[in-house]
Amino acid sequence: MSAEFNQPPHLLRPTDELTAEERRELIASMRPTDAEGVPELHEVDVPDELREEIETAMSKYPQLRSAAIPALWAVQRRYGWCTPEGIRQAAAVMGVTPAYLQSVASFYDLFRTQPIGRRRVLVCTNISCWLRGGDELLRSFCEAAGVDHHEAGHGGGTSEDGEFFISNFECLGACDIAPMASIDERYYGPLTGEDALAAIEQLRAGQEPLPGKAMSERPAAGGPEPDPDPRVAEAEQK
């Protein structure tokens, strides 16, 4: 690899050959111009509602920094993703640097650091769902919504019309209704390819998707309340 390739001229000399003056110039030229300290509240236009949400969160914890995740949720709910400006607003309210919140946001799978489709479909492709057709379900959702399947399987893809974000996801904790998906933060399952198609069409039509398939409406798998164990029954009499 050529030493001259893309190297600024002053880096072609070993740094210990530089004079103190040259070294200072070198460092000054490399100082980032966009690294921001803690933004002051008076310099940032923070919507009142957002500020109140974040401050309410902050007041619940013994230490303010614990509000980082709640603050990022507030930003994402408001703007659809963790926008740089949204992060800057949250940073101003919390008294931390935007870079700090950006680093937290980039760690977690549910925080989007790029814009995504309006409706959010997460299809589980972990073990139990895979055993029951999760891969095929992901494909069905992609076909119905017009999302690139390869993208969907690698962190998520958005349809051309910006309407749908489809992504594979790790175990969502709903293996009892495998294969399943989370649609706009609600769980639905078990789903067939036809269900995927129907869900997309219902969402397009502005309807609640998949009536009858919501996880939150499901009874326990054991069915109607069994007779209590005698030890439990006895304890309950007291």
Partner 1 sequence: MSVSETRLLFRHIDDPELATIDGYKRYGGYRALERAFKEMDPEDLLNEFEESGLRGRGGAGFPMGKKGSFLPRGDMEKYLACNADESEPGAFKDRELMLKNPHQLVEGCALASLAVGATYAFIFIRGEYWEVADVLDRAVAEAYEAGYLGKNILGTGKRVELVVHRGAGAYICGEETALLDALEGKRGNPRLKPPFPAIEGLYGGPTLINNVETLSNLRHIVLNGAEWYKGFGTEQSPGTKVVSVSGHVQRPGNYEIELGIPARDIIYGLAGGPPEGRRVKAWFPGGSSAPVLTEAELDLPYSFESLAEAGSMLGSGSIIVADETVSIPELALRTARFYHHESCGKCTPCREGTNWTVKMLERVVRGEATPMDLDIIAGVQENIIGNCLCVLGDSMAMPVGAMVRKFRHEFEETIERARESGPAPLDQSPADLPLTAGVAQ
Among 50, 72, 92, 93, binds partner 1 (CB under 8 A): 72
Residues that bind partner 1 (rule: CB under 8 A) add up to a total of 65
Stretch binding partner 1 (CB under 8 A), from 23-31, 35-43, 127-135, 140-148: 127-135
CA distance 190 to 178: 5
Q: Does residue 38 bind partner 1 (CB under 8 A)?
A: no
CA distance 135 to 84: 34
Closest CA to 92 of 61, 62, 49, 55: 55
Q: Does residue 70 bind partner 1 (CB under 8 A)?
A: yes
Provide the minimum distance between the beta carbon of 37 and partner 1 in the complex, in angstroms, as a whole number. Answer: 18
Among 79, 113, 143, 148, binds partner 1 (CB under 8 A): 113
Residue 47 CB partners (closer than 8 Å, separation 6+): 78, 89
Q: Does residue 21 bind partner 1 (CB under 8 A)?
A: no
Q: How many CB atoms lie within 10 A of CB 128?
A: 16
Q: Which CB, 73 or 164, lies closer to partner 1?
A: 73
Q: Does residue 178 bind partner 1 (CB under 8 A)?
A: yes
- What x/- string results for residues 135 through 174 when contact with partner 1 is judged by CB under 8 A? x--------------x--xxx-------------xxxxxx
Spatial contact of 164 and 123, defined as CB atoms under 8 Å apart? no
**What are 142-146's contacts with CB under 8 Å, separation 24+?**
142/166, 144/196, 144/197, 144/199, 144/200, 144/201, 145/121, 145/200
- The SS3 assignment for 226 reads coil
Q: Does residue 35 bind partner 1 (CB under 8 A)?
A: no
CA distance 153 to 123: 9
Among 16, 40, 63, 212, binds partner 1 (CB under 8 A): 63
For the chain, report the end-to-end CA distance as a whole number of angstroms.
82
Q: Does residue 7 bind partner 1 (CB under 8 A)?
A: no
Q: Which residues sit at the interface with partner 1, rule CB under 8 A?
A: 60-63, 65-70, 72-73, 103-104, 106-111, 113-114, 122, 126-128, 130-132, 135, 150, 153-155, 169-178, 182, 185-187, 215-216, 219-222, 224-229, 231-232, 235-236, 238
